[in-house]
């Protein structure tokens, strides 16, 4: 029996008895800590890495901005935000604090989503601002190493103290989430985000999960965080149940890198490529739409044989996830044509959601994708995928498509939390990131 996270619950199916089944889990699933998330975050704040405690930094700060992830990320803000607010006020009771929701180019969260993330008390009593990447008053912070121009949220620009709240997970082109990503793309202008996510950057070999070295996307993000004056971060690591298992606080670069090294030791995994790879996006909130499900597909593609089949299970209650992304795949071109068109665009010609379309098209060029979700057959087929009503049906279709009497099936229960590597490739298990 295969069980996968799906929405806020699970989805399951039996595999055919003749299939060769392997379930690939990481050390993240088995990692145990005797402490709860609040305690781990408190201890991290008390012993920050590479910088003095947040309360000390806040003593002379009249305006404090705390960058917070939006509704698409499973950051446990109900735990973290009260701790950050208390720590700032412990050092400066009169500080003017703004929680700035770092949406990047995403839609603004709804009132219900804010309540779910922060709870009634914070939503009622604290000042919350939603970043707008198209705002007219963005601050010009000059050029980044790539030549990209950095346009920054005005509230963050004017803050005396800038703090980042977030979590670290493998990221399919930035190497890891967290840390500097609170700034770029979190609170930057659309032009800065589009240039950072340009086709040549996405296509680079270094732009992959688990890698920061020579990753131009990451390097520009680090420079953006420095230019913005990001002073302090509190980042956590979550298990498959979205429980905090580790926390890292302190200097935006050194604390983040220590968290990445810790996570890579838990998430790195190797396996032989399979005929069929079954993957989940880890359930809610990362499986809210088709757009986000590309992350799990990209991990599955690294372990799927050329011409093999990926089964992706993502509930997608929020639909496709973006009009530009949707339009790219509904204008009559096949995946190969879409990919070539994107790769031909210059750095300053990046279109919204292009990076997701590029990676998705790359997956579709090499593998068939069967999609299990709450979305309609018509919607799924518009994206060039095969629709399946449930996981059992998807497995039956996939086995028929292979034409094999004994297909090899590899299961990735939480693909977005993995740094997968085929057995034939060299994987360094050390601290290098």
| CATH number of domain containing 6 | 3.90.226.30
Pair (246, 297) in one structural domain: no
In the set 106, 197, 251, 320, the catalytic residue is: 106
- Identify whether 431 is part of a domain: no
CATH number at residue 163: 3.40.50.11440
- Identify whether 32 is part of a domain: no
CA dihedral 235, 236, 240, 245 (to 10 degrees): 170
Pair (340, 322) in one structural domain: yes
* Number of domains the chain is built from: 2
Pair (73, 16) in one structural domain: no
Residue finishing a domain among 214, 236, 266: 266
In angstroms, rounded to a whole number, what is the distance separating the alpha carbons of residues 49 and 43? 11
Pair (226, 180) in one structural domain: yes
256 catalytic residue (yes or no): no
Which token pair is 318? 């929020």
Pair (245, 330) in one structural domain: no
Pair (231, 309) in one structural domain: no
- Identify whether 52 is part of a domain: yes
Pair (241, 279) in one structural domain: no
Pair (13, 46) in one structural domain: no
- Identify whether 232 is part of a domain: yes
Q: Do residues 398 and 16 touch, judged by C-beta distance below 8 A?
A: no
In angstroms, rounded to a whole number, what is the distance separating the alpha carbons of residues 72 and 248? 21
pLDDT at 431: 52
In angstroms, rounded to a whole number, what is the distance separating the alpha carbons of residues 349 and 360? 19
Residue finishing a domain among 245, 266, 287: 266
Residue finishing a domain among 233, 266, 299: 266
Q: What is the pLDDT along the chain (433 residues), one digit of tens a residue?
A: 899 999 999 999 998 888 999 999 889 888 999 999 999 999 999 999 999 999 999 999 999 999 999 988 889 999 999 999 999 999 999 999 999 999 999 899 999 999 999 999 999 999 999 999 999 999 999 999 999 999 999 999 999 999 999 999 999 999 999 999 999 999 999 999 999 999 999 999 999 999 999 999 999 999 999 999 999 999 999 998 889 999 999 999 999 999 999 999 999 999 999 999 999 999 988 899 999 999 999 999 999 999 999 999 999 999 998 899 999 999 878 999 999 999 999 999 999 999 999 999 999 999 999 999 999 999 999 999 999 999 999 999 999 999 988 999 999 999 999 999 887 666 554 456 7
In the set 131, 171, 197, 256, the catalytic residue is: 171
Pair (136, 177) in one structural domain: yes
In angstroms, rounded to a whole number, what is the distance separating the alpha carbons of residues 393 and 410? 17
pLDDT at 430: 47
pLDDT at 281: 93
Pair (233, 90) in one structural domain: yes
- Identify whether 341 is part of a domain: yes
- Domain hosting 230: range is 37-266
Q: Do residues 251 and 50 touch, judged by C-beta distance below 8 A?
A: yes
Pair (254, 341) in one structural domain: no
Cis, peptide link before residue 358, omega less than 30° from 0: no
- Identify whether 394 is part of a domain: yes
- Identify whether 433 is part of a domain: no
- Identify whether 200 is part of a domain: yes
pLDDT at 426: 60
pLDDT at 29: 82
251 catalytic residue (yes or no): no
Nearest to 318 by CA among 71, 3, 123, 4: 71
In angstroms, rounded to a whole number, what is the distance separating the alpha carbons of residues 72 and 185? 14
pTM tops 0.85: yes
Pair (65, 182) in one structural domain: yes
């Amino acid at each position: 029996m295969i069980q996968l996270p799906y929405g806020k619950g699970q989805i399951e199916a039996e595999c055919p008895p003749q299939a060769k089944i392997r379930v690939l889990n990481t050390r993240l699933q088995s990692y145990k800590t005797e402490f709860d998330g609040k305690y781990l975050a408190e201890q991290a704040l008390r012993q920050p890495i590479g910088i003095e405690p947040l309360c000390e930094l806040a003593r002379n700060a009249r305006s404090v901005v705390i960058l917070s992830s939006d509704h698409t990320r499973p950051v446990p803000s109900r735990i973290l935000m009260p701790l950050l607010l208390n720590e700032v006020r412990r050092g400066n009771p009169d500080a003017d604090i703004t929680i700035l929701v770092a949406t990047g180019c995403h839609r603004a969260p709804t009132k219900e989503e804010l309540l779910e993330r922060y709870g009634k008390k914070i939503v009622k009593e604290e000042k919350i601002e939603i970043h707008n990447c198209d705002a007219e008053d963005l601050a010009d912070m000059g050029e980044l190493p790539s030549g990209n121009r950095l346009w920054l949220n005005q509230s963050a620009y004017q803050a005396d103290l800038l703090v980042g709240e977030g979590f670290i997970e493998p990221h399919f082109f930035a190497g890891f989430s967290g840390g500097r990503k609170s700034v770029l793309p979190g609170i930057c202008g659309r032009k800065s985000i589009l240039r950072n996510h340009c086709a040549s950057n996405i296509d680079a070999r270094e732009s992959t999960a688990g890698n920061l070295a020579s990753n131009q996307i990451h390097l520009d993000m680090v420079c953006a965080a420095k230019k913005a004056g990001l002073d302090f971060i509190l980042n956590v690591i979550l298990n498959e149940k979205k429980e905090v298992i580790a926390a890292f606080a302190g200097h935006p670069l050194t604390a983040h890198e220590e968290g990445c090294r810790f996570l890579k030791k838990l998430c790195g995994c190797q396996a032989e490529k399979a005929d069929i790879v079954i993957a989940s996006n880890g359930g809610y909130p990362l499986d809210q739409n088709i757009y986000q499900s590309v992350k799990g597909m990209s991990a599955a593609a690294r372990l799927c044989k050329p011409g093999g089949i990926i089964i992706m299970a993502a509930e997608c209650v929020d639909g496709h996830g973006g009009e530009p992304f949707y339009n790219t795949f509904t204008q009559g071109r096949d995946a190969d044509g879409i990919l070539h068109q994107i790769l031909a665009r210059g750095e300053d010609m990046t279109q919204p959601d292009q990076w997701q379309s590029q990676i998705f098209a790359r997956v579709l060029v090499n593998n068939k994708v069967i999609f299990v979700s709450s979305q309609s057959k018509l919607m799924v087929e518009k994206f060039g995928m095969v629709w399946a009503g449930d996981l059992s049906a998807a497995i039956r279709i996939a086995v028929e498509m292979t034409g094999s009497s004994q297909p090899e099936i590899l299961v990735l229960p939480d693909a977005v939390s993995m740094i997968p590597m085929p057995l034939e490739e060299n994987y360094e298990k050390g601290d290098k990131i």
